[in-house]
Amino acid sequence: MNFKQNNLKKIILWLGVVLIGFLIYKFVNKDSLIGVIYQSLPPVEAGLLGGMLLGDETGFEKEFWSSLKNSGLVHLVVVSGTNIMLVFGGLVENLAKILGRKKAIGVGFLITLGYLEIVGWQIPVVRAMVMVSVMYWSQVLGRRYNIFRGLIFSVLVIVLAWPESIYEVSFWLSFAAFVGVVTSPWRGILGSSFWISLWISPIMGLFFGKINLISPVSNLLVLMTVQLITVMGFLGSVVGVFVPVLGKLVLWFVWPLLKYFGLVAQMIGGWWWVNVAVDFNILIVFGWYLILSWTLLKFRKNGYKY
């Protein structure tokens, strides 16, 4: 009897999942989510959430956008590879405690694919998805992820699919951020933020001619909020399409985090001394990454495995 009841519960659960998936596919799109966000939150916080979730930059005032760039946080408020890696990784690690790792990876893929469909399969996000997929697919197969071979394979797939990627700063920033996330010798937020910034900084110096001196600090102050803002913001927006009052309630729980994020960006972005002009070329960038690679080898010799 218990066996039949368990099977019945599983069938009902999966039917519910399929029904919810169909409703989201049928009625949820980028415009409907933006509508819910702007109806539920004040303009500044709505613009911030719209940028982080859906890549909508129309809600950013010019002054606030400058603060985001000057504070070194702009890569977190657009739909980018960094967001995908943080959210996908967070989903898998948390769901693994409940479902087991392989099932959690499968659910994470399905959720992320649904998210890609909603945001319109933006190329920077798809490229990030390729890199993340290669890493987690090796885990599904029960193999240890080899970062060197995984990165080469990912880059080959991306360049063959989108040859123009090699000229785009967004690709190299996503690539550098991915390497930073995967290879960080420190699992704490402070160490990881610093390590990711070290991998991103030479790209910023090469393409934009400047390096932010305290981007590790600014990223540290807000990075812990990104996953929660993204997951709760997406959930509240989707729920708001069907039940506006409930969706607004969920989004108002996210509002304090958005407010905090904005205050950090405005405070640090107003400091004139945080950005230093540099004249980087390919040789300097290559040398910078050689030093980081040498550092990783030293960590590995000392028993650290990434």
Q: For residue 77, what is the enclosing H or E element?
A: none
> Is the per-residue pLDDT at 107 higher than 70?
yes
Of how many residues is the chain composed? Answer: 306
Task: Tell me, yes or no, whether 16 lies in a domain.
Answer: no
Confidence of residue 54 (pLDDT cuts 50, 70, 90): confident
Domain count, the chain: 1
Task: Tell me, yes or no, whether 23 lies in a domain.
Answer: no
Closest by CA to 53, choosing from 262, 258, 196, 247, is 258
Could you give the C-alpha distances from 22 to 27, 117, 195, 243, in angstroms and in order? Answer: 9, 13, 41, 16
Q: For residue 14, what is the enclosing H or E element?
A: helix 2-27
Lowest mean pLDDT among 25-39, 106-120, 285-299: 106-120
Distance CA(213)–CA(35), nearest Å, equals 37
Task: Tell me, yes or no, whether 108 lies in a domain.
Answer: yes
> Is the per-residue pLDDT at 126 higher than 70?
yes
Would you give the DSSP letter of residue 302? T
> Is the per-residue pLDDT at 284 higher than 80?
yes
Tell me the residue range of the domain where 94 lies: 68-301
Task: Tell me, yes or no, whether 48 lies in a domain.
Answer: no
Summarize the confidence of residues 184-199 as an average pLDDT.
Answer: 75
Task: Tell me, yes or no, whether 54 lies in a domain.
Answer: no
Would you give the DSSP letter of residue 273? G
pTM, two decimal places: 0.75
